[in-house]
Amino acid sequence: MTMKIKILKIAAGLFFFIAPRLVFAASYFEFAPDISNSVQLAAASATQTFRPINDFLKGVDVWLENEGANASLDFFFYDKNGVLLLEKTAAVPYLNKKWGGRRFSVGFDRQIAVNPLDFYSFKLTSSSENLLIYYANRVQLLQHASPYFSQDIVGSAEIGDLKDITLKYALNEEAENNPPAISGATTTIISSAAVKISFNGSEPIDYKIEYAPSGETAKSSTAYSGYYQFCGTGLSFCAVTLSVSPNSRYDYEIFAKDAWGNESRLSGVFDSLAVAGGESSSEPLPESPPADSVPPAISDLRVAGVTESSVKIAWQTDEAADAELAISKKADGSSPLTLLNDFTVELEHVIQTGGILTPATRYYAVAKSKDAAGNFATATLAFTTAETAGEGAPIAAQTPPLPSSAEPAATGQAASGTEAASSSPLTVSFTIAAADGGSSPVLEVTWQAPPDGEPNGGYRVDIFDENNNLTQQKFLPAGVYRATFDDLPAGNYYAIVYANRDGVFEKISAAATVVIIEAVIKKSHPLRFYLTIALGVLTVAAFIVFIIKLTRMGKFSAFFGKKEDEAGFSVIEILVNIAIVVSIVATIGFLSQFLASGGLFLSRGLEAHRDFQQALNEMSSELRSMGQSGLGSYPIAAAGTSSVAFYSDIYQNGVFERIRYFMENGALKKGVITPTGNPLVYGESSEQILQIVSGIATTTSGIFSYYGENGSSLSFPVDVSAIRMISVNATVNSEEKNKAAPAPFQMKITPRNLRSGI
């Protein structure tokens, strides 16, 4: 579980007093939730790790309380190797008690150059018994799912025996003249009319791109946004989508500036999509579907529940999109107190804050949803928290939502933690069975009743395909925990089950993914099959002859050696009748055995493949939510044809385990290493290995392949930092030979934290 922190827009003119001198600096990063606790600093030293996400550091702010005489505060600043970079003693004046503490700045005598992505730490000590330091309970604040990198940016703190906490702190920078560094520029063809440029910056930047067809002087340009976004290598990307013409080469130049106005540039060239029948052809270009530039429409933004310290906000979108909720005391949503994320791509959105709000206080909720193409919309709603505990009923009258916009109130990283369904103990499971009389699979979704009781509006189940399109939807009454779906072609799907409480659709569990394959019945005895068909044809023919003989005896009497007036049946007729009966019995027997055998083949085939489907579903969930290790390592540790290793918080406890899927002797196995110690250590000897499924066909190409930013296949050895999509291709055999056809599986997984522009 992680948290994403807002990179504040730098406001010049801020200054903080630190004896014995004034320090003019700007705060570019702040972690200061309203709800926090304090502890006596004299009892134990406080140590905080963090990533500076900037190129210089001038000071650190902390939140203190000192109701005694002047106190002495010792500050120590260390690099990633524990080398002391700076030591400072500051005099803390009288600071009377205030909710959340009072901000105190420890200004450095000089500005220190830092690596934005390295881990640094600072330690605070004091002998004054009146000096208290404020911290946030990490377990409380990180109870929601959010992007992986934010936890590593914020870092963790220790104060004696207190663990799983983070100090309230801010990072400051003084004016400097070093321009930001731009790196990692890549281009992705979106369509014949659009190309996306992604890149990294060494510090929070505002940016624009100028571009034109090669050889032309008239340039098109995007505009500076006025906000500063951190897009460090290995954490996120800055990205811009440009409108282009097909079959063309373009020159482009990226302009990036920091908050002090220092600007840098990076030039490059890209080719747009090559379309058959281009400029050299007399035929008109085929029309390409335009790039999706329409943001999702936000509707029905409302307060679903509120208490004295938390709020639940709900809204809907007209297309599948993710959700982000900022809570601020300002109407424009700036300087949010917290920013919560739910990366489930869906139509219904419900996010609830933790207990971080102040009673009887007016706040603004800014809802944001982004579709798969990166288009986003925002809407704002005002609300007031309850005055005392127990006033947690939904607010009846609230300020109407402000008009939604395709532009957000602010960009960048922000403090977050969303109401993650993944933390729920509920599960959604799938069963794939054969449809009646055929091999078309039926998808069965089952779930459990929520622990807080049956919803008064029943349940809703949405099925989405791999392109995030809603394919089927069903409503079910309370007390029903099963829904079936048919007519689903082979492919990747995910299902979301919602509980409807007074018109608020809130998912009861994380979205569950499933792979549907073509059901294949193997004809293991083709001779029996064709013999059955032949006997069936003969039986029908004999039966027709028999009927004709009975009804038109006169015309066929010569054929049987009878006279027309003779009664009864001849010996030949009796033999023919016996042959007809034997044929019918034999045909029924062969056909029954064949159908029963075919059903058995399908049943055994589905049973043999079900384990691998479940393994794929679990693997997909873990790969999609991969993140950096507890040591700051890149999310993907290794990538091969028969194995992949990565980091993911599979137990939802804030610790990222090292996960390894690998092939061994025709079996897919899974290894898990849980880090231990302080600092954390991933010991290979502690790896726990579990066999997931056997009977996988072994090939020279392996089962894993990898794709880059532009969708092109990556060659081996693979540069893990270039991976944007992972493909799993395997053929599974049933355990018994000649019982079911080998079933090919394919799943392409896009880890959400490796996508551009996040």
Segment 27-57, tens digit of pLDDT: 777 777 766 789 999 888 999 998 888 888 9
Q: CA-to-CA distance for 735 and 534, rounded, in angstroms? A: 32
The mean pLDDT of the chain is: 74
pLDDT > 90: percent of the chain: 18
Q: At 11, phi and psi to the nearest 5?
A: -110, 115
- For residue 291, CA distances in Å to 251, 287, 297, 674, 708 come to 21, 12, 17, 43, 20
- Residue 751 DSSP one-character state: -
Distance of CA 615 to the CA centre of its chain: 18
Collapsed DSSP state (helix, strand, coil) of residue 615: helix
Q: CA-to-CA distance for 361 and 738, rounded, in angstroms? A: 70
pLDDT the model gives residue 239: 82
579: exposed, middle or buried (C-beta count within 10 Å: 0-12, 13-18, 19+)? Answer: middle
The upper half-sphere exposure of residue 275, i.e. CA atoms within 13 Å in the direction of its Cβ, equals 21
pLDDT the model gives residue 241: 84
Q: CA-to-CA distance for 381 and 364, rounded, in angstroms? A: 6
Residues 635-669: pLDDT tens digits?
898 888 889 999 988 876 778 899 999 988 888 88
- For residue 415, CA distances in Å to 153, 370, 446 come to 11, 18, 35
- With b meaning 16 or more CB within 10 Å and e meaning fewer, what string describes 97-108? eeebbebbbbbb
Across residues 202-212, what is the average pLDDT? 89
- Name the CA radius of gyration of the chain, rounded: 33
- Whether 519 shows a pLDDT value over 70: the answer reads no
The structure tokens 């919803």 sit at 455
pLDDT confidence bin for 63, thresholds 50/70/90: very high
pLDDT the model gives residue 586: 65
- For residue 419, CA distances in Å to 41, 141, 217, 321, 350 come to 33, 11, 51, 16, 8
- Whether 107 shows a pLDDT value over 80: the answer reads yes
Residue 228 vs residue 660, higher pLDDT = 660
- Whether 14 shows a pLDDT value over 60: the answer reads no
Tokens matching residue 574:
């009796």
- Whether 160 shows a pLDDT value over 80: the answer reads yes
Beta bridge partners of 660: 645, 671
pLDDT the model gives residue 137: 64
Lowest mean pLDDT among 16-25, 266-275, 533-542: 16-25
pLDDT confidence bin for 234, thresholds 50/70/90: low
- Residue 720 DSSP one-character state: G
Residues 427-459: pLDDT tens digits?
455 555 544 444 456 778 888 888 788 999 899
Beta bridge partners of 729: 746
Non-local (6+) Cβ contacts of 317 within 8 A are 296, 297, 298, 299, 347, 349, 369, 371, 377
Across residues 607-633, what is the average pLDDT? 73
pLDDT the model gives residue 528: 53
- State the pTM of this model: 0.42
Do 602 and 521 contact (CB within 8 A), yes or no?
A: yes
pLDDT confidence bin for 592, thresholds 50/70/90: low
Q: What is the enclosing helix (H) or strand (E) of 621?
A: helix 571-624
Beta bridge partners of 305: 312
Lowest mean pLDDT among 104-118, 126-140, 652-666, 741-755: 741-755
pLDDT > 70: percent of the chain: 68
Q: CA-to-CA distance for 535 and 550, rounded, in angstroms? A: 22
Collapsed DSSP state (helix, strand, coil) of residue 529: helix
Length of the chain: 758
Do 219 and 244 contact (CB within 8 A), yes or no?
A: no
pLDDT confidence bin for 396, thresholds 50/70/90: very low
pLDDT confidence bin for 585, thresholds 50/70/90: low
Lowest mean pLDDT among 190-204, 265-279, 390-404: 390-404
- Whether 308 shows a pLDDT value over 80: the answer reads yes
Q: CA-to-CA distance for 513 and 624, rounded, in angstroms? A: 11
pLDDT the model gives residue 163: 78
Lowest mean pLDDT among 76-85, 159-168, 733-742: 733-742
pLDDT the model gives residue 713: 85
pLDDT confidence bin for 228, thresholds 50/70/90: confident
pLDDT confidence bin for 679, thresholds 50/70/90: confident
- Whether 91 shows a pLDDT value over 90: the answer reads yes
pLDDT the model gives residue 177: 84
pLDDT the model gives residue 292: 67
Q: CA-to-CA distance for 603 and 304, rounded, in angstroms? A: 46
Tokens matching residue 119:
């881990």
